[in-house]
Chains A and B, each alone.
Chain A
Amino acid sequence: MTLPINNDDGDNMSVEAAPSKSSLGDVASERAKAKMPGNAPLGSGLEARGIHAWFGKHHALSDVSLDFAAGTVTALIGPSGCGKSTFIRTLNRMHEFIPSAAMAGEVLLDGKDVYAKGTDVTKIRLQIGMVFQKPNPFPSMTIGENVLSGLKLAQLKVSDRENLMQECLERAGLWAEVKDRLGAHAGGLSGGQQQRLCIARALAVKPKVLLMDEPCSALDPGSTLRIEDTIGQLAQTMTIIIVTHNMQQAARVSDYTAFFLSDGGPGSMIEVGPTNEIFSRPRDQRTENYVSGRFG
């Protein structure tokens, strides 16, 4: 694993201060190994190379390269409009749903470009799951059906539905609250419960990577805490990338943090590194300004 990669602005990055790529990479992969005692097959993670994104003529994101080691949590932080949501939507090819949206660059999942010609995009999205900002369970389905909806949508067969349902709900930290009303409609759950249901739903298709686009921004502090717990648990078995506006959250849940910023032009990644370093001794002045609350 190669972390960190600074996308551009070599002048802002003092070579001495930055740890060499290989040494940090070793740290990252050791962490990853330490996290999976059973050597769960996590694959080799996700790699974004030179990602650009456009909406029509508007250049929204410029040249972002980031590696996500298997079994790590990476937080993407930055002020609104810096392109971090756009960036994670390029990772599972949700970006292309917006009419006139375009992208350049490569996203490698286990070394294979997800944008390669002839790729079945539905298979990509099965491996790279997503949780959205607003909880969006299917209101016409029951809680149980929601959890297994991904299997139905992707026409996957599973032998033990009950077990899978329970396992996913347990991993999402929702089992205890809903085990007696799996047949109830999902609309009756609170916002935080709905969001954990969405996490359980994303887990049921066994993705290798889970993208979370500000998953707690619509939730109260208690629900936020529960979801952060959940993220901590999940990181043992999968790679998680979380967009957040909340810097404390980034500090609490992530192993690595990447700071995005737009200076009027397209958004780009300013800096990435282990989370404690980004928050204690960032290399770039702009990161320092942001994490210390001077703007944003």
Chain B
Amino acid sequence: MAEKVAPPSPREITTKPRVSDRVFRGTVTGVGMLSLLILTLIGLFLALRGFQTFKSEGFHFLTGYKWESVTSDSGQVTNTFGVGAMLIGTILIASVALVVGVPLSVLCALFLSFYVPDRLKKLLVSVVDLMAAFPSILYGLWGYFVLMPMAEYWAKLLYKYLRWIPIFDAPQPFFERSPFIAGLVLAIMIIPIVTSVSREIFAQTPLDRVQAAYALGATRWAMIKTVVLPFGSSGVVGGAMLGLGRAFGETVAVFTVLNVVFKANFHILYGAGGNVASMIILKWGEAVGDETKALLAAGFVLFVLTLLINLAANSIVKRTLKSGK
């Protein structure tokens, strides 16, 4: 008796937004897409302007150590542009910053997550966040006038006792304005970002594992070592890479502290070096013609480098937060 009735097809559900809503939606969409647009345009601009340099220098642009524009008597201009030396400097300085800054940040994050009294916590968290907002020239000046005299002494110690390790050696005992000191300044500058990412990850540590450790008679440190650090390690790596992104791109602080010299220098204690960003700012004032294009090409290298590192860092951090592993 039950006659089969074909079920109706689902209705299409729509709303007609009011004009005001549509206007607002258009505005926020536009502004929201603006950042993507600007980023793309900057990348395109750098790539197009630098294209000629990439074409004439080829791969040598990345590996060459020379940055010269020589005009001969006959008015013939010979250009040799290579950012190799500066890339080495960039990596050296950023490495010093990470080696010093990441452990400090992790300890800072552990303190803020597990040890700080509640009353102090808010204050300290906002102070650390504030550190990120300081203009980098202030770090540069402070590094130059306050940190450098001390760091020079540490550099001498390292040189005296560890110079058998090649990177701690120096062609001459000249330790002022070295990549080592620039790295120390950068280490302090990356503390806020690495700390806040680490803190966020540590806060996600599953409570049942924390309790399991405590119930087994763990001290707080033993619990952190066994539960929190294994859980948070990949997040710390992500935070460190965000820090690396900042360290690669930092210009003014490095420029203030460092003695920028166009030579490949593998000795972090020796007072000569440079990074791509500080090179650009140094050469910009006097550059004309092809050199300007070459500087923009160097800018493109920096752009790609920073973009890649930040993308990788973001995906690591996000994956860690999501998987909870």
**Interfacial residues, chain A to chain B (CB-CB below 8 A):** 92, 94, 97, 99, 122-126, 129-130, 132, 134, 136-140, 149-150, 152-155, 198, 201-202, 205
Q: State whether B216 touches A155 (Cβ < 8 A).
A: no
| Nearest 5 Cβ contacts at the A-B interface | A126-B217, A153-B218, A150-B216, A130-B215, A136-B208
Q: State whether B223 touches A94 (Cβ < 8 A).
A: no
Whole-angstrom CA separation of A94 from B231 in the bound complex: 22
Chain B interface residue number, banded:
20 to 34
Q: Nearest chain A CB to B170's CB is how many angstroms away? A: 42
Q: State whether A138 touches B217 (Cβ < 8 A).
A: no
Given contacts A153-B222, A154-B222, contact A136 B209 (CB under 8 A): yes
Whole-angstrom CA separation of A134 from B207 in the bound complex: 11
Most buried by B among A124, A129, A139: A139
Q: State whether A125 touches B211 (Cβ < 8 A).
A: no
- Residues in B neighbouring A152, C-beta threshold 8 A: 222, 226
- Residues in A neighbouring B118, C-beta threshold 8 A: 99
> Can you list 27 contacts pairing A with B, beta carbon distance less than 8 Å?
A99-B118, A122-B217, A122-B218, A124-B217, A126-B217, A129-B215, A129-B216, A134-B208, A136-B206, A136-B209, A136-B211, A137-B212, A138-B209, A138-B212, A138-B213, A138-B227, A149-B216, A152-B222, A153-B213, A153-B216, A153-B222, A154-B216, A154-B218, A155-B222, A198-B212, A205-B216, A205-B217
Which residue of A has the minimal Cβ distance to B230?
A140
Given contacts A153-B226, A154-B222, contact A125 B217 (CB under 8 A): yes
- Residues in B neighbouring A125, C-beta threshold 8 A: 214-217
B315 in the interface (beta carbon within 8 A) = no
Which residue of A has the minimal Cβ distance to B218?
A153
Q: Nearest chain A CB to B121's CB is how many angstroms away? A: 12
Q: How many residue pairs between the two chains, A and B, have CB atoms under 8 Å in the bound complex? A: 70
- Residues in A neighbouring B325, C-beta threshold 8 A: 139
Which residue of A has the minimal Cβ distance to B216?
A150
Whole-angstrom CA separation of A77 from B206 in the bound complex: 28
Which residue of B has the minimal Cβ distance to A139?
B325
Q: Nearest chain A CB to B203's CB is how many angstroms away? A: 14
Which residue of A has the minimal Cβ distance to B222?
A153
**Interfacial residues, chain B to chain A (CB-CB below 8 A):** 118, 206, 208-209, 211-219, 222-223, 226-227, 230-231, 325
Q: Nearest chain B CB to A34's CB is how many angstroms away? A: 30
- Residues in B neighbouring A140, C-beta threshold 8 A: 230-231
Q: State whether A94 touches B214 (Cβ < 8 A).
A: yes
Q: Nearest chain A CB to B119's CB is how many angstroms away? A: 13
Q: Nearest chain A CB to B230's CB is how many angstroms away? A: 4
Q: State whether B226 touches A94 (Cβ < 8 A).
A: no
Most buried by B among A99, A122, A132: A122
Partner of B212, one of A123, A132, A155: A132
Q: Nearest chain A CB to B229's CB is how many angstroms away? A: 10
Which residue of B has the minimal Cβ distance to A146?
B212
Q: State whether A201 touches B216 (Cβ < 8 A).
A: yes
- Residues in B neighbouring A155, C-beta threshold 8 A: 222
Most buried by B among A94, A136, A153, A205: A153
Q: Nearest chain A CB to B85's CB is how many angstroms away? A: 42
Q: Nearest chain A CB to B231's CB is how many angstroms away? A: 7
Other contacts beyond A94-B211, A136-B206: 18, CB < 8 A: A97-B211, A97-B214, A126-B217, A130-B215, A132-B212, A132-B215, A136-B212, A138-B209, A138-B227, A140-B231, A149-B226, A153-B216, A153-B217, A153-B222, A153-B223, A154-B219, A154-B222, A202-B215
Whole-angstrom CA separation of A201 from B211 in the bound complex: 13
Q: Nearest chain A CB to B13's CB is how many angstroms away? A: 40
Q: Nearest chain B CB to A144's CB is how many angstroms away? A: 15
- Residues in B neighbouring A149, C-beta threshold 8 A: 213, 216, 226
Q: Nearest chain A CB to B177's CB is how many angstroms away? A: 44
Which residue of A has the minimal Cβ distance to B231?
A140
Whole-angstrom CA separation of A152 from B227 in the bound complex: 12
